[in-house]
Structure formats: C-alpha cells, structure tokens
Structure 1
Amino acid sequence: MKILVIGATGTIGKAVYDSLIKEGEEVYGAHRNSTDYPVDITDSLSIENLFKKLPKLNAVINAVGTATWKPFSELKEEDYYVGIKSKLMGQVNLVHVAQNYISDNGSITLTTGILAEHYEPNAVGLSLVNGAIQSFVMAASNELQRRIKLNVVAPGAIIGDFPKDKKFADHFPIPIEEVIKLYKESIHKSDTGQVLKKY
C-alpha cells in the first residue's frame, strides 16, 4: 500500500510511520519542517501542494493538530480559534483535499483523543475540537464517494509523553503499540465512520 502519514516526526505519527515501514509498506512522511513533503494543515493550499507531489495513495493518516490549553476562565474567543483552525478545520480540509487524490476503496484516518469524552483541567478548547471532529467523521463518512473510508483514532495519553503511573482525564496512559494497532485497523478494516478508541 501507498500510505501518507502527516505528522511523521511526532510521538504518534513517527511510531505509526516506522511501524508501517517495517511491514514493507510504501510510506511517505510529511510534516511542517520536511524538506521533501512539507505541509501545514491550517493551509488548504499547502495540503493540495503536498498531494500533488505524491503518487496515488491508498491511505492517509493525520496525526497533527493543536489547540490552546488554558483554564476555562482564561479562554478568549481567539484561543478557541487556535484549535478550530488547526486540529478541527485542518483535518476537515485534509479530507476535502485527500478524497480527490486517493484511490477507490482508499482510507482517510484522522486523530482526536480521550478529551472528546473525558474531562481534564485546562483542556476545554481541545475537548471542543475533538468532539466536533468525531461528529464530522460520523456524518461525512456517509457522503464520500468511490467507497473511500473515513475514520478517526482517539487515543488516551501515551506512556513516555506522560508518566505511566499518573492519570490523564481519569485514565492511565497507554503504550504506543496499542495506538499503532488502531491506525492499522482503520487502514485495513472495511467499516467507515468509526471512532477507534483506546484509553
């Protein structure tokens, strides 16, 4: 398979990229500072330019997107727009572009996380966009053409990024290997509109 991983230098993206490479897949790693495949998901033109450089893909995985971490009492309108522009609309626009470049029966996988369903202090802005993305996937997956699948992976905190004996959003962190399995499941399974959770 020809697979694009956006965010191939991050904790999740790099792990997924490396694992797929080891399995013999033809994997392309993109990130903001890449010399070969640079991309800024907040810019639709940047996303379009990325796909124009690549062969026809079978699968796209996005593992990037940010939002503002602040107490609710300190959040201003512009703070919300950080996550809306990046993690929410960045991924929405990725789907709009990617659908035109991937093969029939292809797969697009987005990323949210535990905060769509569970509370963590200072994370209201991220919870907002995570929940919105999951609703978007549920709806948009019904309207993609050519049997293209659209799913989302929602992991908890990752061991290594977070102390394994400390809870995040009332759950202990999980091994990165468990998260990698979810992305592979999204690529290979036939279902669409799924939220694949592990926390």
Structure 2
Amino acid sequence: MKILLIGAAGKLGAAVHEALTERGHEVLPVGRSTGGLRFDIADPAQVAALYDAVGQVDAVASAAGDTPFKAVVDMAPADYEAAFRGKVLSQIELVRQGVPRIAERGSFTVITGVLCREPVLTSSAAAMANGAVEAFVRAAAIEIAPQRINAISPTVFTESLDEYGDFFPGMPPVDLAQITQAYVRSIEGAQTGRVYELG
C-alpha cells in the first residue's frame, strides 16, 4: 500500500514508519519541519497542498497532535483553541479532505490518547481534544464507508517513561511495538469506527 504518514519524525511516527516499511508498504513521511514532505496539517490550506503533492494514496495515518498542558485556571480561550486546532481540526481535515483522495476501500488512522478517559492534572485541553477526535471517528465511520477510520489511544509510551512517567502515576505504560501493531491492524484490517485502547 501507499501510505501517507503524518508526524513521521516523532518517536511514535518513526516506529510506525519502520513497522509499515518492514511490511512492504510504501510510506510517504510528512513533518512540519523535517522530511521530504513538509506540511503543517493544522493549516487546512496546507492539508490540501499535501494531498495535491502526493496524489492518491491507499491509507492515511497520523501520529501527531499538539495540545497545551496547564491548570484549568491558567488556561485561556486561545489555549483550548490551540488544542482543537493542533489535534482535532488537523486530523479532521486529513479525513474531510482525504475522502476523495484515497482509495475506494482505503483507511484513515488517527491518534488520541488515554487522557480523555483517564485525565491527569493539567490535561483538560488534551482530554477535550482526545474525546473530540474519538467522537469524530465514530461518526465519520458510518458516513465514509467503504472507506474506514479508526483511532489509536495509548497511555504513556514505555520508551518515554523517563521523561513523562511522573505525569501518569499508576497508569500502565505501553511499548511502542504494541502501538505500531495497532496501526498495522487499523490499516491492513477490516474494522472501522474503532478506538484501540492500549495500556
């Protein structure tokens, strides 16, 4: 398959890239500031330009999405807007604009996370964004068939425990290898409208 991979330079994106390449797929890596395809998917115009640049693909996978982390009383409206733009609207635009650009039975795989079901301190924007993405996935799945859409929703990566483990007390971490297998399942499988909860 020809697969468009957003956020390919990040820790998760790099692992997904490797796993898909090892399975014989042609992966087109996209990043904001690195890689051969440099587009900011938070800008709908750049999403359109990206699809124009790559032509038709079989699948689109996203491993990117930014949200601010602050206490609720320190958040401003612009912070919640940034979370919506950085993680929700960006991935919605990949799907909305991608429906006519991917194969008839192609798929979309987007990223959410544990915080919408198990929030931690300072995570209100991330929880909001993740919940919105998951709700969108369930709604979009019933409209875009036979194309498919699923979400990957992990806890903290085992490989990132040194950096982020203290923010997720008591939550079981999940290995990147397990997360990449969920991407493979979403892309190569037949399910749609699913949220794969990992960890």
Task: Please give the range of the TM-score, normalised by the shorter of the 2 chains.
Answer: over 0.9
Moved more, 133-142 or 159-168: 159-168
Give the 4+ runs in structure 1 shifted more than 2 A. Answer: 163-167
Aligned-pair CA distance for 1:34: 3.4
* 1: CA distance, partners of 2:32 / 2:168: 28
Aligned-pair CA distance for 1:100: 1.4
Letter in 2 for 1:137: V
* 1: CA distance, partners of 2:97 / 2:54: 13
Moved more, 163-172 or 107-116: 163-172
Percent identity for Structure 1 against Structure 2: 28
- Look up the match of 1:39: 39
- Look up the match of 1:113: 113
Matches for 1:126-165 after TM superposition, within 5 Å = 126-145=126-145, 147-163=146-162
Aligned-pair CA distance for 1:55: 3.8
SS in 2 for 1:86: helix
Gaps of 5+ in 1: none
* 2: CA distance, partners of 1:79 / 1:167: 20
* 2: CA distance, partners of 1:99 / 1:169: 39
Letter in 1 for 2:157: I
With the length of structure 1 as denominator, give the TM-score of the two structures: 0.94
> Cα 1:165–1:49, aligned 2, differ >3 Å: closer, same or farther?
closer
SS in 2 for 1:185: helix
Aligned-pair CA distance for 1:152: 0.5
Gaps of 5+ in 2: none
With the length of structure 2 as denominator, give the TM-score of the two structures: 0.94
The answer (yes or no) to whether the contact 2:152–2:182 under 8 Å persists in 1 is yes
SS in 2 for 1:143: helix
* 2: CA distance, partners of 1:190 / 1:166: 37
The answer (yes or no) to whether the contact 2:9–2:35 under 8 Å persists in 1 is no
Aligned-pair CA distance for 1:56: 1.9
- Look up the match of 1:49: 49
Structure that is richer in helix per residue? 2
* 2: CA distance, partners of 1:80 / 1:190: 34
1:174 aligned to 2:183?
A: no
- Look up the match of 2:183: 183
The answer (yes or no) to whether the contact 2:9–2:34 under 8 Å persists in 1 is no
Aligned-pair CA distance for 1:4: 1.0
Aligned-pair CA distance for 1:128: 0.5
